[in-house]
Amino acid sequence: MTAGTEGYERFIPLFIESAQSLDFHQSCKDYKKFLPSAPASLLDIGSGAGQNAAALASLGYHVTAVEPMYEFLNAALNKYGTLSVRWMQGGLPELACLNPHDEMFDFVLIEGVWHHLNEEERAVSIACLSSIIKPGGRCAISLRNGPPGMGTRVYPTDVSSTINAFASFGFEAAFYVENQPSIFDFKENVKWARIVLQKRFGKPS
């Protein structure tokens, strides 16, 4: 079992149904103005049941979707397989399914993933992300705080520490918002923050 996926195996049909009911233009509305012009190369990490990758492909982007759970990846292929998305099985922190020497992206989306990684895994993830995001490229990350949901491996997240961790790899915050409610009304004890980090040109200072 890949780090961070614990618990989801109990709710596979429910997760797929819930995820594919979400509208990218609502759930990821804070990120839309930071997307590059299409066509550009986008990476969706922890793509789940594929709804965000599908929406981005429909907007004209070259999309790679990476998801650790086969069941979710298969559901994405079944529903969105006609779209031009490269579906891959894998995940953070190493993203071993990608070749960092050949894969470079203009924009990376990490939605609903970061809270499943511990501090060591986040550090490895940031180093990996810095190697695959183009100079000037952006990384959009959602940060969840609250009791566990379907996924039971949950760690606290923090906007300032996340921004500072990325800063050491040459990123700066282009946007952040905190204390947002869950898109699901029944999760009143769950709060989200969202960050967009942009990779500076040149080496980190």
Every domain of the chain and the residues it spans: 8-199
The pLDDT of residue 1? 46
CATH 3.40.50.150 fits 8-199, yes or no: yes
How far, in whole angstroms, is CA 66 from its chain's centroid?
9
Q: Residue ranges of the chain with pLDDT lower than 50?
A: 1
* pLDDT, tens only, 158-190: 999 999 999 999 999 999 999 999 988 778 899
DSSP 3-state of 185: coil
Distance CA 32, CA 72 (A): 24
Distance CA 192, CA 183 (A): 9
Whole-prediction pTM: 0.94
